[in-house]
Amino acid sequence: MNFTGKTVLVTGAASGIGNACAKGFAEAGATVILTDINEAAGNAAAAEIKGSQFIKLDVTSRDSAEAVAAQITAEGGKLDVLVNAAGWDIIEPFMNNTPEYWDKIMAINFMGPVQLTRALLPLLIESGSGRIVNVSSDAGRVGSFGETVYAGAKGGIIAFTKSLAREMTRKNIRVNCICPGPTDTPLFASQSEKMQEALKNAIPMKRVAKPSEVADGVLFFASDRSSFVTGQVLSVSGGLTMVD
């Protein structure tokens, strides 16, 4: 896959899967715009990727999303690929959830991609062949114990992907979705050892994903290798879920 001449914006690029995506696109020749709410980690991540740029972005803020679009435009830049990878979760029983927790889950995992996508669509349309890859979760396909509202948000991202894909064919934009299973990132490490072991054992391939393996799926959807694919969902989860 070759992304020479393409500009790719990745959210959540300071860590885990988003960071692996940023590195993968850069290795494939793209100019990468890393974005994240964590400025220090984002700047450090960008420093490791030659020719890349870091822009601070809080995906829960519409102003922040619009400011990123305005900055790219003001700098005379363009955008070919958007990867919505930023996400957040804490596992706990639904009965223990507070309304504040629900709001945070929905703001980061659902409304974040929605409002950033809207802010960046004019640039993606202008590119003539824009691509959007959303990072959802297998939780959004099959549910997940202790991740009830997160699963709802991620299921929403799948439906958002499909509907936007239908609307955007007329603009020559493809929209697809990756569903990681348990992946070796700081988010996964924040779960208890017991939970991590239980998840590993439930995976037919008996290990969690490397972030780069999830990034490979993202690069596929963003590349010409998937030129006739839109509105699709790909699980990268070692066989944890096998959905028709």
Question: Residue 26 and residue 31: Cα distance in Å, rounded?
Answer: 6
Part of the chain binding ligand NAI (CB under 6 A), chosen from 25-33, 92-100, 180-188, 226-234 = 180-188
Choose, by CB under 6 A, the member of 25, 54, 88, 221 that binds ligand NAI: 88
DSSP state of 40: H
Site for ligand NAI contains 238 (CB under 6 A): no
CA distance 65 to 196: 34
- Per CB under 6 A, contacts with ligand NAI among 39-58 are 57-58
Of 24, 87, 152, 156, the one binding ligand NAI (CB under 6 A) is: 87
Residue 16 sits in the site that holds ligand NAI (CB under 6 A): yes
Task: Provide the minimum distance between the beta carbon of 178 and ligand NAI in the complex, in angstroms, as a whole number.
Answer: 8
What minimum distance in Å lies between the beta carbon of 99 and ligand NAI? 18
The encoded tokens of residue 31 equal 């100019």
Catalytic residue check, 101: no
CB 155 within 8 A of CB 140: yes
Is the Cβ–Cβ distance between 226 and 170 less than 8 Å?
no
Q: Is 236 one of the binding residues for ligand NAI (CB under 6 A)?
A: no
* Selected binder of ligand NAI within 15, 117, 148, 161 (CB under 6 A): 15
Pick the closer one to ligand NAI by CB: 79 or 133: 133
The residues, ordered by sequence, that sit 6+ positions from 97 with a Cβ below 8 Å of its Cβ are 148, 149
Q: How far is the CB of 37 from ligand NAI (least distance, A)?
A: 4
Q: What secondary structure does DSSP assign to 125-176, as a single string?
A: HHHSS-EEEEE--THHHH--TT-HHHHHHHHHHHHHHHHHHHHHGGGT-EEE
> Which two three-digit tokens encode residue 22?
């940023």
Of 3, 88, 110, 150, which residue is the catalytic one?
150
Contact 24, 218 (CB under 8 A): yes
CA distance 131 to 221: 8
What binding mask, one character per residue, do residues 124-163 give for ligand NAI by CB under 6 A, x or -? -----------x-x--------------------------
Q: Which residues are catalytically annotated?
A: 150
Residues that bind ligand NAI (CB under 6 A): 11-12, 14-18, 36-38, 57-60, 85-89, 108, 135, 137, 180, 182-183, 185-188
